[in-house]
Amino acid sequence: MVGDQAQGRSRRPGGRAAVVVAAVRGATDELLEEVGYEGLTLPEVAARAGVNKTTVYRRWPTKVELITDLFLIRTAEQDPGRDTGSLVGDLVATLEDIVGHVRSPATRAVLSVAIGGALDEPTRAAREAFWDERFRRGAAIVERAVGRGELPPDADARLLLEDASSPVYFRLLVTGQALTDSDIELFARRAAERAGGTGAAHE
């Protein structure tokens, strides 16, 4: 019986490394809620996770890299852009997801790096990883629209997504102005029209 239990433990998916990584990410989430990006330090993350700080520094040499890793993992865990049956509908769903996602402390922390901060190498890498992941996941919207005949085959996915999402990020992170359902509908429809969209209106 003991042998079976030991064997089961040895076959645990990911092993100890996966447990440590999960603990560090969980601790980072908690500390971001409590002290925010500026107050978070790697030694505090290690202490909260119950691991040696050298373990944290070895995998994530800087706070920027740790926060970016956390954000990318959380983003990958989300469902890809919802298929509503129309380009405008898909864009509305994506913008609604952005509004909800930006409420996450990890997302806000990454955005503080992506929008401001010193231009050192880790910061540049964090910015690139953040935006590349956002646009990679959103490209499916354009692919579906092309397949439905709502967009021309040469439609630029990144330009369309930038056009639709920029006013949302601007309001959420710069002006603090309220976002209504009508605003989101307007941003989505306007971006679709500029890209040459011919799909049906979002219901």
Please give the average pLDDT of every successive group of 10 residues along the chain, which has 203 residues.
Answer: 44 72 93 87 96 95 86 68 89 89 74 62 69 78 93 92 93 88 96 75 39
Q: Per the structure block, which two tokens stand in for 163?
A: 């056009």
The yes/no answer on whether domain 73-194 falls in CATH 1.10.357.10 is yes
Residues 6+ apart with CB under 8 A from 34: none
The yes/no answer on whether domain 2-61 falls in CATH 1.10.10.60 is yes
pLDDT of residue 10: 41
> Does 2-61 match 73-194 in CATH topology?
no
Residue with tokens 């930006």, as numbered in its chain: 102
Instruction: Give domain limits for the chain.
Output: 2-61, 73-194
Give the count of alpha carbons within 13 A of 41, CB side only.
Answer: 5
The residue among 89, 197, 82, 200 whose CA lies nearest residue 150 is 197
Helix (H, G, I), strand (E, B) or coil at 104: coil
Answer yes or no: are the C-beta atoms of 73 and 63 closer than 8 Å: no
pLDDT of residue 113: 65
Residues 6+ apart with CB under 8 A from 59: 21, 24
Answer yes or no: are the C-beta atoms of 158 and 107 closer than 8 Å: no
The residue among 43, 40, 49, 59 whose CA lies nearest residue 20 is 49
Helix (H, G, I), strand (E, B) or coil at 202: coil
pLDDT of residue 176: 85
Helix (H, G, I), strand (E, B) or coil at 154: coil
Whole-structure pTM value: 0.69
pLDDT of residue 114: 61
Residue with tokens 């040499």, as numbered in its chain: 61
